[in-house]
Structure 1
Amino acid sequence: MTWSIRLVLWTLGFTRVVRTTIVNADVVPAKGAVLLAANHTSMIDVLFILAALRREAIAMAMAELWKSPLTRWLVEVLGQIPVVRRDSESGKQAMESATQALLDGALVGIFPEQKCMLPGEVVPYRPGVAVLSKRTGVPIIPVRLVNANRVLPVGKKLPDLGHSVYVIFGQPIDPDDFASVPELLDEVHLRITTLEPPPDGGR
């Protein structure tokens, strides 16, 4: 399924319908546990991230995705972890599932903002990604998506094609370099927000 998603985006890029540029994806190890922490601007962010990877991944995704039959089928096939926002029991179960996945050597992706952000909107990062990293000792790779919100803006059902999307990976963050969860979370936020596309648009 993940290879099918990559093929679709590669085809869209080749035809210039949606051009996707992947930056520094080599920092993601081919195997072994790793956490990805990404900004969240569109409901299709996870598809761009999956297309940029060369291995299977599990994402902690909003349970709202399970409402549509198509998206429910897609996230279930991809083995994603549902999270009901503002539901402590759901959050606890999701954290337990993610912890077990990491202990099993999986790649787990999290959107610390926990919702799609409108342009200019700012919310505090939720600590889950830093808690998981500290709990398991697994490094965090920051990821920034640029222009995914132009392809499918928040609140829209149909995509706006013809844009160039960047998926930018940063260097891994070792949880042992930080004394506390808040300090680690601050570093994750800083790394994500300062990742920029290369001036030449290189891959």
Structure 2
Amino acid sequence: MSSTDHGEAPRQAVPRRAGRSADTPYRPTERGAAVGRRIGIALARTGWRVRVLGGWRVPVAGPVILAANHANLVDGPLLMGMSPRPTHFLVKEEMFSGPVGAVLRGVGQIPVQRRSADRTAIGSALEVLKDGGVLGVFPEGTRGDGDFAQVQGGLAYLALRSGAPVVPVAVFGTGERGRTLGAIPPLRGRIDVVFGDPFDAGDGSRLRTRKAMQEASERVRTRLAGHLAQARELTGR
């Protein structure tokens, strides 16, 4: 259902419906995301033993960016279900074709192209936040070790531009070391999803200069890595 590379730094989005300008934001619906959340809940309950910690830390209203580590194909749909609120994830454009693409659009997810700067995806993401919604991002940009070693700048840009708080999310049990990258986690295995405290990516000045962006990116990377370490200690993973 959801992409292996959900959380790219936003780039040129696809697909475009007839008559829509290349730069016109695709507007996913919260109703669709709510349906996606129910699907994610059913998937999690059927496939694994999922433990959610700190879900209460996600603000109950207003714009929020969920920033999660990413080690497996199932991370996206799993987090759609485990998030306390309907969430619109950034999903690589390659997934938006055929039946899978129709499902992704139907559940309010946002296509993003990875090869170039994507004004359309940025616009769509900002519209979600402007409307007080929840945006899901995998800031590492692709599946990997899931340790936040590489955090792309798109998350910091969206956070500074929208003023939305960032909630770090650590997922354990979907991409254990020693298992083939992308292999589905063992059925009925334990998966932990740990939400952290929301934080502001900026320094309070609301500046969006190159220097401010670089500082925000480093602040985000540090906070995400710190949350991951705390979550490991909490869960013993």
The TM-score with structure 2 as length reference comes to 0.71
Distance between the aligned counterparts of 2:204 and 2:152, measured in 1?
17
Of 103, 108, 112, 1:83 maps to 112
Q: In the alignment, what sits opposite 1:9?
A: 44
Q: In the alignment, what sits opposite 1:52?
A: 82
Any runs of at least 4 consecutive aligned residues in structure 1 with deviations exceeding 4 A, and if so which? 120-123, 197-201
Q: In the alignment, what sits opposite 1:183?
A: 215
Distance between the aligned counterparts of 1:153 and 1:178, measured in 2?
42
Q: Alpha carbons of 1:70 and 1:44: their partners in 2 closer, same or farther (altered >3 Å)?
A: farther
Deviation at 1:122, TM superposition (A): 7.3
Distance between the aligned counterparts of 1:155 and 1:137, measured in 2?
33
* 1:101 and 2:128 aligned: yes
Q: Is the 8 A contact 2:201 2:220 kept in 1?
A: no
The residue type paired with residue 169 of structure 1 is F
Distance between the aligned counterparts of 1:132 and 1:175, measured in 2?
9
The residue type paired with residue 90 of structure 2 is M
Q: In the alignment, what sits opposite 1:15?
A: none
Root-mean-square deviation (CA, aligned residues, Å) is 2.6
Q: Is the 8 A contact 2:62 2:132 kept in 1?
A: yes
Residue-by-residue CA offset, 1:118-151 (whole Å, 9 max, x unaligned): x48876321111111111111111111112125x
Q: Alpha carbons of 1:54 and 1:126: their partners in 2 closer, same or farther (altered >3 Å)?
A: same
**Contiguous gaps of at least 5 residues in structure 2:** 1-34, 206-211
Task: Determine helix, strand or coil for the equivalent of 2:151.
Answer: coil
Q: Is the 8 A contact 1:39 1:143 kept in 2?
A: yes
Q: Is the 8 A contact 1:66 1:72 kept in 2?
A: yes
* 1:154 and 2:150 aligned: no
Name whichever of 27-36 and 158-167 sits farther off: 158-167
* 1:173 and 2:173 aligned: no
Q: Taking every aligned residue pair, what percent have the same amino acid on both sides?
A: 28
The residue type paired with residue 68 of structure 2 is A
**Contiguous gaps of at least 5 residues in structure 1:** 13-17
Deviation at 1:197, TM superposition (A): 4.2
Q: In the alignment, what sits opposite 2:59?
A: 29
Residue-by-residue CA offset, 1:136-168 (whole Å, 9 max, x unaligned): 111111111112125x95344x55324211111
Residue-by-residue CA offset, 1:31-87 (whole Å, 9 max, x unaligned): 2111111111112111121111222110111112224x4532331111111111112
Q: Is the 8 A contact 2:71 2:146 kept in 1?
A: no
Distance between the aligned counterparts of 1:111 and 1:43, measured in 2?
12
Distance between the aligned counterparts of 2:202 and 2:185, measured in 1?
41
Name whichever of 173-182 and 128-137 sits farther off: 173-182
Q: Is the 8 A contact 1:114 1:126 kept in 2?
A: yes
Deviation at 1:183, TM superposition (A): 2.2
Distance between the aligned counterparts of 1:153 and 1:25, measured in 2?
29
Deviation at 1:113, TM superposition (A): 1.2
Name whichever of 178-187 and 52-61 sits farther off: 178-187
